[in-house]
Every structure is written in structure tokens, then in C-alpha cells.
């Protein structure tokens, strides 16, 4: 069983659930969807499989709500889902409330493998579904972003410059206007700078390893441990071409990111809380020590290619 993306059907178990929906008779498909939602919300300690199936089921309900997004994934149901009973909306909303109250370990796993942005994109998708299902009722996201990794200098730059601990918590995130687009560009630029700095660090490590080898050779020559040491083995230091390119790329992406930060400040003089889903979101809190369970935190998407989507 595996996960290859951040969409509601981007996992083996969610895709198999979609196949089960397809196999049901049209008039019985709502029963399959309701069963997954009831089972997930009723389990005392649901595993990650149930959670992924519940998210997939909730996305089918949300797709039929005002503002809902149609399911177009090749891994989702290929047969039409008839109009679902209205009673499924609060049930789907409750299922997502449970998901949002227990996301810390899952997102920490993304962060540890250097994919914090992907994890938070997944979280944003869950929040969007929850808002569509019940825009009037507040909800809580039990997530406190962990420490940034050393290479995440782009993300850190935005956090420090704009006073947030999550780029998608910036005012304007999720909006359709210029400020919403700018937040999206900020996030993408921060991730590009993170990647550029990671490549720079790798280049610096390689260059330092070469310098260390030359230093050890010269020290051995000075100590009489070797008979000769040719000058070509200890050339005057010059920045390797690959490192120079990495340095230039990092500098360019840093300047681009700072330009976006300055533009965002002009558009958002002094907001203190996110406007995204403001009518629905309650608050983000650090979970208790018992909020997360290893069974509810699958590994982030594997590098392997996803299976072939089922044809329509």
C-alpha cells in the first residue's frame, strides 16, 4: 500500500475505495460513502487506511456542495455519483474535524524528509474541503509547525520577515485576488530557495572535501611523511564551476523572494490573522502529547511512480 500525492484519492486505499463506489449500484453508492464516514468517526483508534478512505468519501460529498470542486482524479470514481443525501454533509464535516485534530505526527513526518511544503499543501486541501462542507462552523487544526531544517532558508526568510510560522497562514492565502496569488508565489519562491540552498550546501561540502585533501597532502609533505607532492595536487583555490552556478542560483532566488516579500508588505500593511476561511477556521493549536498515534501517520508519498489511473 502506498501514497503518491496529496489529493484525496492519491493513495492505494483511497483508490480502492473509489473502485468500491464504482462497483455499487447507482442507488447504493451513497451507502458505501456513508459507511466509510460512520466507520471512521466511530472508531476509537482509526488507522491511516480508514482516515484516507474517510477523506476520499468527504471529498465526494464536498464535490456536491456549493463551492465544491468536481472530482477529476483518474484514481477517483469513474462512474457518476448520484445526488447524495444532505445528511452526509455534517457527517463528512465531522470526519474532517477528526482528521484536522490529529495531523501533527503526519506533518512532522513530511518536515523530517524535507517536504514541509507538500505536507502543508495536503493540510490546506483538507481545510478547503472542511470549509466547503460547513463554512459557518469554526474548527481547530491541531498543528504546530516544528523547527525548520538547516536548508530551509527560504521558508525561514518568509517566516521571519512576515511574522508567521506557516506561509499558508498569511492573510490572503486561498483568496482568488492579487494577494492570494502573491501568497502562492511566495510559497513557491521560498521552496525554490530552499532547494537552491540545499544544492549550494552539497557543492560547498564537495569543495571543502577537495581542500581538506590538499591540506592533508601539504601537511604530510611538511612532516616528511611523503617524498614528494606535486603542485598540481594543491592548486590555488578557485570556486568550482558547479559551486559557482549554485551560488548564483541561490542569490537570484533570494533576491526574487525578497522582492515578493516587499510587494506583499505593500499589499498587506498590518494584518494579524489569515483571511483564508476566516468565517470557518477556529484556531491552530499545538496538540497534546497524546493527540497523535503512529498508526494515524503514514509515510509521505513514495518516490515511485503512481499506478496507472483507471480509465473512464
Q: Note the pLDDT of residue 2.
A: 77
pLDDT level of residue 269 (50, 70, 90 thresholds): low
C-alpha cell at 232: 598540481
Burial label for 47, CB within 10 Å (0-12, 13-18, 19+), is: middle
What is the Cα–Cα distance from 230 to 6, expressed in whole angstroms? Answer: 55
Rama region for 48: left / alpha / beta (φ>0; ψ in -120 to 50; rest):
alpha
Q: Are 296 and 98 in contact (CB under 8 A)?
A: no
pLDDT level of residue 166 (50, 70, 90 thresholds): confident
pTM score above 0.85: no
Average pLDDT over residues 205-223: 84
What 3-state DSSP class applies to 140?
strand
β-strand partners of 11: 3
DSSP character for 210? H
pLDDT (tens digit per residue) in 219-258: 887 888 877 767 666 666 677 788 889 999 999 999 999 9
Q: Note the pLDDT of residue 284.
A: 53
What is the Cα–Cα distance from 104 to 124, expressed in whole angstroms? Answer: 14
What is the Cα–Cα distance from 169 to 181, expressed in whole angstroms? Answer: 14
Amino acid at each position: 500500500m502506498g501514497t503518491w500525492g496529496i489529493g484525496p484519492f492519491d493513495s492505494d486505499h483511497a483508490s480502492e475505495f473509489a473502485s468500491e463506489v464504482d462497483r455499487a449500484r447507482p442507488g447504493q453508492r451513497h451507502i458505501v460513502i456513508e459507511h466509510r464516514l460512520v466507520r471512521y468517526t466511530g472508531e476509537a483508534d482509526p488507522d491511516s487506511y480508514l482516515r484516507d478512505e474517510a477523506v476520499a468519501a468527504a471529498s465526494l460529498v464536498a464535490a456536491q456542495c456549493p463551492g465544491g470542486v468536481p472530482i477529476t482524479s483518474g484514481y477517483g470514481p469513474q462512474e457518476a455519483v448520484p445526488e447524495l443525501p444532505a445528511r452526509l454533509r455534517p457527517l463528512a464535516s465531522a470526519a474532517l474535524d477528526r482528521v484536522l485534530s490529529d495531523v501533527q505526527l503526519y506533518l512532522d513526518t513530511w518536515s523530517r524528509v524535507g517536504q514541509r511544503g507538500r505536507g502543508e499543501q495536503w493540510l490546506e486541501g483538507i481545510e478547503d474541503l472542511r470549509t466547503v462542507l460547513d463554512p459557518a462552523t469554526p474548527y481547530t487544526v491541531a498543528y504546530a509547525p516544528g523547527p525548520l531544517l538547516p536548508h530551509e532558508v527560504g521558508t525561514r526568510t518568509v517566516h521571519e520577515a512576515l511574522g508567521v510560522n506557516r506561509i499558508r497562514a498569511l492573510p490572503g492565502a486561498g483568496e482568488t485576488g492579487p494577494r492570494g496569488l502573491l501568497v502562492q508565489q511566495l510559497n513557491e519562491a521560498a521552496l525554490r530557495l530552499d532547494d537552491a540552498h540545499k544544492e549550494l550546501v552539497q557543492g560547498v561540502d564537495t569543495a571543502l572535501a577537495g581542500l581538506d585533501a590538499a591540506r592533508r597532502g601539504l601537511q604530510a609533505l611538511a612532516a616528511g611523511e611523503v617524498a614528494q607532492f606535486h603542485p598540481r595536487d594543491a592548486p590555488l583555490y578557485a570556486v568550482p564551476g558547479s559551486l559557482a552556478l549554485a551560488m548564483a542560483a541561490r542569490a537570484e532566488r533570494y533576491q526574487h523572494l525578497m522582492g515578493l516579500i516587499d510587494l506583499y508588505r505593500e499589499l498587506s500593511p498590518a494584518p494579524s490573522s489569515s483571511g483564508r476561511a476566516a468565517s470557518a477556521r477556529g484556531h491552530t493549536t499545538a496538540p497534546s502529547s497524546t493527540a497523535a498515534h503512529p498508526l494515524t501517520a503514514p509515510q509521505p508519498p513514495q518516490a515511485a511512480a503512481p499506478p496507472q489511473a483507471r480509465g473512464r
